[in-house]
Structure 1
Amino acid sequence: MKPSLRSVLENGTPLYQQNSKITQFGKLGRVEEARKLFNQMNQRNTVTFNSMISVYAKNRRINDALNLFDKMPHRNLVSWNTMIAGCLHNHRVDKARHLFDQMPQRDIFTWTLMITCYTRNGELEKARNLLNLMPDKMNPACWNAMISGYVTDKRIKEAKQVFDEMPVRDLVSWNSMLGGYTRTGEMSLGLKFFEEMPVKDVVSWNLMVDGFVEVGDLDSAWEFFKRIPNPNVVSWVTILSGLGRNGRIMEARRLFDQMPIKNTVSWNAMMAAYVQNSRIDEALNLFNEMPEKNAVSWTTMINGSVRIGKLEEANHLLNQMPYKNVGAQTAMISGYAQNKKIHKAREIFDHVSIRDTVCWNTMIAGYAQNGMMDEAVDLFHQMVRKDIVSWNIMIAGYAQVAQMDKALALFKETKHKNIVTWNSLISGFTHNGLYPDAFKYFISMIQNGNKPDESTYASILSSCANLATLQLGTQVHVLVVKTGYEQDIFVTNSLITLYAKCGKMPSAERVFSHTPRVDVVSWNSLINGYALNGNGIEAVRLLEDMKVAGVSPDEVTFVGVLSACSHAGLIDQGFRLFESMGQKHLIQPLTEHYACMVDLLARAGRLEAAFQMVKEMNIDCNAGIWGALLDACRVGKDLKMAKFAAEKLLEIEPEKGSSYVTLSNMNAEMEWWEVVEEVRGSLNERRVVKQPGCSWIEVQNRVHVFVYGDGYWLENMIFRGHLRALMAHISNTDDTLLDTL
């Protein structure tokens, strides 16, 4: 539109050009310059106000946008929609709904915006209610937003229900529904749906290729790729990335070289494939060959250098980067944090001009992973907009430093919990030995409608194993089978440990033999089980079977085998295995291995040899070694050596008095009461508090805890009612399954 003469004379610059300038300032993040121009304008129209509101909203200044909206002399439909869109961008859903309800009129864009507000905030029921209230249901845009919301939340059945109800569908509707199937790995349903589509475009084909790539079916992905009528760059990049992620790097490079048109995205995909396969030199060569680099190119290369520990090279690339990018800076922060250079990570963080949520979370996670929870919580409180990842990082961080009270407080404060939130808490309880609490929140998780995953089951089975609660563990096993996680390697390893610690080695063997893919942890779990149950011969046999199967033993393997030899009195066998560690397997003995050997010698009555081994060790003794020697002295009734071992043990663990209690008991057995009093006096002088004894027993799905000195026993609340919540989930399972375990 030609500017009016009046606007040109009064402002020197046409009004529409000034409005455009405000919008440009906003896109560049130059909010103050946009505001200054707005304030200097002698004439403003509705477009001027709409432009300035959009600038504020898009740059996270939603309160300024709302204030300006309230001052507008005249509002049109675009003004209302712009303000609602701003609230959507700033996650102010309640305010958006308030504006929506006040609007004098609405168009289809308004309804779509409001429904999208709800779906992006996870409030799908409110979105669906709004869809039902919509007067004109013939436009597919709102329906598509609803489908997209359900798909994002992985509620595919409900998405399909909305799709089936649509009075009019467009290609976006079909592709949105197809994306729901492919993104959740439902490729058989996705394939059937794809074949039923009346019209397909390149997006439809790309969704199928990407779906097959995600489930690891590269052959089907390749077949679909070859059938695409007119593949675009996304088609090529999708199959190329799939090949790279699955280690088929040569095929990926051949495909890259065959691409008819290569844009920056293509180069980045090939470079990322090299990085994912730790071929950083080839990635760097490609990076240097690139005709044009963007922020992703630099970030990928920095990530690659960080991945192999080349932090100086990564930092050099960051300094060379012509424009600083928050993604590249975040990669550098992560690299320094992972390598315990947390101060350098903070230096990078402090120089990031505009931090996004990922940047904040990376820095907070860096502090948490390094046990610096005071610094982590300080940043967490400074963070303006936290997401679920932020809360999960903090919960896991507190769990890592054994502050479960604070982890639980944050968990209760978190409004939106996901599977990671629950797992962080449950695994935290398990890791810190609070096994009944782990089970309590496992039950609560199920009661709240959350479905456990493989991490949940691995944690809760570990708790059952440490409590030696066979009946509860068996019920969880049935639930594992029913939910389809019995093939997961972490779950099966936890099951093996559970049955082993409960003395059910045939069941442990059965789980092991039915596992399609076992790893070194699986073998170790079984070996440790036989060691724990006093079957040293079987443990040694398993070690030989393990070698025949092509699995190399590690340090943990030999701790288990040596412990088995110790308990079974296999002295010669134990010495041969100890020597073979370094000679055949190139494994340097750790303190745990020496502790096993000390225990082995002591049990055989060779106390002097055990003491000599401790003196000749090339590594510092820990509590395990001195504890093993002290226990051996107790069996051999060597008070002189026991006193020496107890003093060494108390130097390492001054807060624990168990070593002096053992020494006192030994003197009491010899009826040397004066020495007993002397030992007890030493305990009092050192102000060492002996922890009360504690044990538990499982009776009919209840765990009863006994604490010395309480005068009564405590029932743990979580196991009351025969675990009705858990059993409700396995009630339809064949009872014969329980009999086979």
Structure 2
Amino acid sequence: MRDALSILASSAVVPPSATPSHHHRRRHSNYTTTNTRTRPKPNSKPNPQFTASSPLLSSSRWDNRQSLRYYADLASKLAEDGRFQDFLMIAESVVASGVKASEFLALLSGKSVASGIARVIGEGKVNSGVEMLFNGVRKLGIEPVQLFDGAALESLRGECRSFLKCGEVERLVSLMEMLAGFKFRIKELVEPSDVVNLCVNKRDPTAAIRYAQNFPHIEMLFCSIILQFGKRRDLVSALTAFEATKQNLSSPNMHAYRTIIDVCGLCGDYLKSRDIYKELLARNVTPNRYVFNSLMNVNACDLNYTRDIYKQMEKLGVTADITSHNILLKSCGLAGQVELAQDTYREIRTLESKGALKLDVFTYSTMIKVFADTKMWKEALEIKEDMVSSGVNPDTITWSSLISACANSGLVEQAIKLFDEMLQAGGQPNSQCFNNLLHACVEGCQFDRAFRLFQCWKERGIQQATTDDNQSNLDECVAVDQMRVPFRPYSHLTMRVPFRPTTSTYNILMKACGTDYYRAKALMDEMKTLGLSPNHISWSILIDVCGGSGNVAGAIQILRSIREAGIQPDVITYTTAIKICVANKNPKLAFSLYAEMKKHQLKPNLVTYNTILRARSRYGSLQEVQQCLAVYQHMRKAGYKPNDYYLKQLIEEWCEGVIQNEHQNKGPFASRMTDFGPQSLLLEKVAEHLQDSNSESLSIDLRGLTKVEARLVVLAVLRKIKEKYIAGNSIKDDVSIVLGLQKLGSHFTKDESGVREGVIRLLHHDLGLHVLAVGFRTGNDIKTDKRGPLRLEEEVLERIVSPQAPESPTRRPIVLQRLKVTRESLHHWLQRRICK
């Protein structure tokens, strides 16, 4: 400040207008003094105070245009050096003297001012430097944006790009906020999508929201932010941006709701999309059809929910369009409900006949895919005929689905015929079409033909397509970059078709290797040389090929090497390895892989469960049974409905092992698999009683079981007791067996289900154990039946009476029937078993 005053004071002694011949020299001398910041001598007088009322700044002194230009140049130089405070002092003084701000502004050097601003911005002094300058010039009636000409704006734009390139999101957004506040068109300084992408890359939704709030119309930019976070699978950040949308907009924006629902689908959280829909309804807002379509599409994996949303859509008066119906078809296909898909398709055709809507290529393609996935190739071709007759031309996806329908059924010739039809119709096959042809060869067990096709596509030029059985069908010319396929029957016509192998291409070929591990490994190496990355499916196939040759150790080694390649094994990879262990009769290794899989928090699928449950052909120890029953319970909790027939057979065999040495003939109450109903509780009961947590409990609850199931549960507990006894655990208590409910006063031996009779026969007759019936004492005598002594022991029984009403003298209390096997009897039985 002192230097600037010195400049102005010295200029008062020799005004620029009075000495025109020395004007340039004097100005240069003063500026040099200013730059070097020469301090006045200690004993020199200080510069006089400089005010607007000083004679120096009287309006008469500014009559000379050259003097005004002089101070404008001086102010420009100060701004260029970043000395904004001195710049503002001169500007304020000039304007205070009566000079119009616009006149002074016109004389400033925009390039110098912009250069100084850019330098201060680069030093990170946005708030303390640039913002102070902008506030100062605004007080003078000058908008900061007026300081910038085209070159100056370009300089500012370059500084913004520099922040963008360096990834300095905070500095860039802060600068954008400041510039927007001073009416700069920040959209012209840097592309908004670039700023949004930077915020997304930095996982910074707050910065993205701050940037979006600087625009007058923020709806589309907010939707872009939400979608970009969704594409990065960052649902938390997307939801943060969505909440900011609701706060910045006065009313619900349907486009924002549709976008966040789509993002839920991208991130695999379809349940969150349902919560967002409920929130919308709670606000008494009716979604439009686009929101409904997105919600249905995200939840297409749940057919029941999708259909419910469709019905709600109709109830709320929202008209469904063809997209809505297409999503219904897609949902039917994902659920494997072919008949329902056909009904939906017929309904759509009916609506079309009434003029309510028009079927599009997606409708036909979706229906074709439904049939393709279920190997109903004839029905898929019929849909194609409907499509052509309706004047809708099949696109690449349609042709690909048609070829896939034949490929899934192993119809190689039909798949090739469809491929030729596509070319004749002017279709452009994509890599999926070629892959489907290779898949057709693999499904048709024409492995050599698959390799011939692939080699021709890579290496040879042109070869005529034909379906003659004596020729190699479609061993056509396909180079790495292009293929020429003559149309049939118009062989004089040719067409260029792009072909580039994909990871899926090599995966299909690896399946064609059978048990030839080295050929499959060579294909994977070739894949890498082309810049393709093997995925989980590639590694799973390689493990399967290696294990198929009997090399279990090699297959497990491949599984271990996947992590070294930077890929985390998924559920399919582990399931493949488990299947190999099971096929090679190595259940111990299979269960260790299953445990490892759960340790890495991978959820087993239905194939995994079914595979691991078949790991053993028989059970030899309690631990093995517990292991399999734990898998079974996890499977049920995961929502799968297993076919437990095989498991029940093994449990039966293991349980009956307790008695087989004593009586090879199991008797009339021996278990038979035909006695198990579809809702059998056997496995749950056995699992409950064999848990390690129940190791000290010797109570067996048989309620709800049939006599066959009750027999097996009792045998399972006895085998558990036996194995623990052999391991050194002594019997500390009696075994209590709960049979069921019975009214007092009713005949004690009445047993309609036969459970009590069967259990007594098993324990006493087959195993020689001493059995006590626990009930009310009706006399001091001992009841006897022909199977042996059955004493009615006097004990306090559990009574079940209604809590709502007191016990009536005429009302018979209900008690639990129980049997008891004494500890001494068990001890003698175990000793006999061990001695044998």
Shorter-chain TM-score: which interval? 0.3 to 0.5
The alignment's TM-score, normalised by the length of structure 1, stands at: 0.47
Higher helix share: 1
The alignment's TM-score, normalised by the length of structure 2, stands at: 0.43
